Structure formats: C-alpha cells, structure tokens
Amino acid sequence: MAVEELRADPAGNTLRAALGLIPRGRRDTLPDLALIRRGVVPDRDRLARYDHVCGFRLADVLPGTYPHVLAFPLAMRLLTAPDFPFPAIGLVHIANRITVLRPLRADDVLDIAVEAAGLRPHPRGRQVDLLTSITVDGDPVWTSTSTYLSKETQPAGRPSRSSDSSPVPSASAPLAPPSPTPPSPTPPSPTPPSRSPSSSVPSTSQSSSPSAPSTPSSSGPSAVWRVPARVGGDYAAVSGDRNPIHTSRIGARLFVFPRPIAHGMWSLARCLAFFEGRLPSSYTVDVSFKQPILLPAEVALTADAAGQFSLYGVKSARPHLAGQVTPA
C-alpha cells in the first residue's frame, strides 16, 4: 500500500466533492493508499465549541467521538480522490465503531492515518469502510471503522474485496452506574464561549434510574432532547462536514429529505455524552444509524447499565440509531 504523508489538512475537499457529481467512468476497486498526518494538536477553542454543540462537559479530555473530527479532512481527501469508486456526496453513513484505548488529552500530539477497505455488496448498493488509527509517540490510542453505503443498482457478479458485513456490536458488559453527582469538569484554556438560551445544545430531562429500556416502552426514556434546526449548521462549523443535506433546505430536498437532517456523528456524540463520567478508561462504542433526524426534532434516548442505547423520535417512535458501549 502506498503512503502519502500530508503536512497540513488538505484544502479543497468541498470543491472536489462537488466535482465528483459529474458523471464519469469510475474504477471498481479502492485506491491502494493510506493518508497520514503527523503532529496534530487539538485546538482548545474548537474542542470547547464541539463540547458545547454535542452536550459534553468542558474538559481537557477529548470526547471519544472528537478524533473523528480531527481525521475528517483526511477521510474526505480519500473519498474525493479521482480513483475512488463512487462520489462522496450521496454516501450514507450507516455504521461506526470507535475504540478508545486510553483517554486522549487536548495537549496530546497525534499521528492520524486513514485508509479505505472492505468494498463489498450491500442489498441497496455497495458499502466501504474508512479505517482510522491514531497513535501518540508510536502507541495506538484510538481507532475507528466508519461504514458508508453508496446506494446503487447492484450488477450481478460485481467483484468485492471482502464479504464481511457491517461491524457487529460486541457482547454487552456492565458499565459503572452513574454517580449521584457528576465530577466537576476541568475548564479548558482559553475560556470557552458562554452558553446562552439560543445555544444549540438540546435541553435534557433525565430519569433518576441508571437503567432504562433499550427500546421505547411505558417505563419512559432515559433522556429527552429538543434538537433545534441550527444543530446542523453548528455541528458543520465545528466538524468541517458541510454536506448541504445538513445545512440547507434546498440541499436536503435534492436528496429527497423534506428538510435538513442532523449529522449521524452528532447524534452519536450526543448519546455518548449521556454516559460521560461513567465510561471506562478504554472502551468500544458500536452504533448502527437507522433513520435520519429531520430538524428540528424532539428525540428520546433509552440506555441501560449494560451500555446498550437507542435514539428514537418522541412522537413517531421512529428509530434513529442503536448502539452498545463495552469495555475494551
């Protein structure tokens, strides 16, 4: 496999993604390439804004989903490469597996590597995995498998590199029950922006019980969040994922959504924030994305002491995601 080392985050990804919509012949295999960026230090102000948008407490420890944001420019460079099998715009993020091998801090110096693997058939087209690994001083600290679907008519006999299916959540293992009073966060430096009533952080009501059903039931949800329309734009600003289906009503309608939808990784981050303060020092979180969250929305989370969780619409009971947190 060829390795390309980048000295800075690649520019022009949005333009390349748009140009990728121009019809042309495409290869039927993945590029045999790994992209690497060394010496990445998280920006504390951006981290504070990410915490604010996703509902994490402000701290110098990175949320488990934040490295996905740091790796996103490399992932987009790979997805928009001329020899990638399908256009980046229109890909559907259907599953994700993140493993945190140790807590990452805002002053860690990260080496990030991204590659594509596992091009294979799917009942509605083809799917592919983007594999991300992060090391600090040569030691692995964080890995991710992001699975994307390209919806298309599947020709008979199309070759694939792998017959593996999407990541399957591992067997459940108990998490520590939530403490009555969460520990006080360590404020990052510089001072983060203050929260205001117009903040995009959803309002939350939590049950007093540490256990909750993993599907909607009469016993009630673990939390209910009102998700304002601005979440799409706010998350796009901190993540760099400016796909118009999340930020523009016109862009959403071009892809048959009646209004913008929330980013899948925002919904995962918001769910993971629910477990904050009771996650082990190393863990894996698996998630399958079900149906999009049309903005604005009101959603409910169910979670149990074994780390299983699901997110669904309050009024419609429409499933948005299902996941599992397990010690690594």
Write out the two tokens for 42.
């998280």
pLDDT digits (tens, 9 = 90+) for 259-283: 999 999 999 999 999 999 999 999 9
Question: In sequence order, which residues have a C-beta less than 8 Å from that of residue 287 and are 6 or more positions away?
Answer: 95, 96, 97, 268, 271, 321, 322, 323, 324
Task: Supply the pTM of this predicted model.
Answer: 0.80
User: Cβ distance 298 to 263 under 8 Å?
Assistant: no
20 — pLDDT class (breaks 50, 70, 90): low
Considering the chain, what percentage of its residues have pLDDT values greater than 90? 63
Give me the chain's average pLDDT, please. 82
- pLDDT above 70 (res 187): no
Element (H, E) at 66: helix 66-79
Asked whether residue 217 carries a pLDDT value surpassing 80, the answer given is: no
Query: In this predicted model, what pLDDT tens digit does every residue of 152-166 receive, in sequence order?
Result: 764 444 443 333 333
Higher pLDDT, 210 or 12: 12
Q: Could you give the percent of the chain with pLDDT greater than 70?
A: 75
What pLDDT is stored for residue 291 in this prediction? 96
CA 6 to chain centre: 23
How much is the average pLDDT of 85-109?
Answer: 93
| pLDDT tens-place string over residues 204-214 | 443 333 333 34
What pLDDT is recorded for position 118? 95
267 closest CA partner among 232, 241, 238, 307: 232
Give the tens place of pLDDT for each residue, 221-238: 999 999 999 999 999 999
- Domains of the chain are 1-168 (3.10.129.10), 201-328 (3.10.129.10)
